[in-house]
Amino acid sequence: MGRGRRPGARPSGRDLPGQPEIIGAVQAETDPRDVVVQAAGSLPGDLHKLWRVRDPLGYHVEYAFSCMGYEIAGGLGAKRGLLDDRDDRDVVVMVGDGSYLMLHTELVTAVAEGLKIVVVIVQNDGYASIGNLSDTVGSERFGTRYRMYDRAARNFQGDTPVPVDLAANARSYGLDVIEVPPGPTVIADLRDAVRRAKASHRTTVVHVASDPLVAAPDGEGWWDVPVAAVSTIPSTQEARTRYEQQVEAQRSLLGRPTDEGEHA
């Protein structure tokens, strides 16, 4: 597909892009038959809302267990299956830094078997998804950012990021790694990186930093996550009040169970 037919949305110009823009850039550079593989974090929800599926095999996203670490291993499985069918479409794995840390060693298998996949690491220094959930239940994103341990406070709530270099980690496996630095051209650079990764015959890891606080449009669903009934934190107390109001509006789609265990 020629470049002229890959329009994509106009970049926001943010130095540190939000994940929606990253998804748009990756989508713009993939071919309609390519397979996107994902499993956990904020990506499944965001892909569900934003990725335009263009082929029956084009969307391999795991929603049942939301199993962190599935992505790279799952991408290799998808690639093997395609190769067995003599299907040369690309497999593009999108993976958060948390999921990557959970299981990146399958990259060694990609190297050993000479399999080619494209892996896009969305580096947002922690758990954007759980951070957002924590916010909605008044827990102020506690423990969801990768920060150095603060011995005095005995928590990880300080400001110093954990200096782990995931791009260097990927490079250590003997893969091609393209680091896309933050800055005004980050989205154009990311598109260029995905284009180069697709053109290569080897596995390429594309590493891009993202702002965890830039969210995709709200799905407007309600998740029944009970909030602590007893707390000294005002935001949690407020969240509990909200939760009790929301539970009032809840209705059972199958009716209420009767004494005999049937649904009335």
Pick between residue 17 and residue 69 the one whose CB is nearest to ligand TPP.
69
Of 132-171, which residues contact ligand TPP (CB under 6 A)?
none
Count the site residues for ligand TPP by CB under 6 A.
Answer: 18
Q: In whole angstroms, how close is the CB of 86 to ligand TPP at the nearest point? A: 33
Structure tokens at 135: 């916010």
Which residue has the CB atom at the shortest distance from Mg ion?
Answer: 96
Q: Is 41 in the site for ligand TPP (CB under 6 A)?
A: yes
CA distance 19 to 123: 10
**Stretch in the footprint of ligand TPP (CB under 6 A) among 36-44, 106-114, 185-193, 233-241:** 36-44
Q: Does 40 bind ligand TPP (CB under 6 A)?
A: yes
Least distance from Mg ion to the Cβ atom of residue 122, Å: 7
113: tokens are 């078997």
Nearer to ligand TPP, 128 or 227 (CB): 128
| Residue 205 lies near ligand TPP (rule: CB under 6 A) | no
Contact predicate 189/196, CB 8 Å? no
d(CA 83, CA 181): 33
- Which listed range, 4-12, 61-69, 173-181, 246-254, lies at the site for ligand TPP (CB under 6 A)? 61-69
Residues that bind ligand TPP (CB under 6 A): 40-43, 66-69, 96-99, 124, 127-130, 212
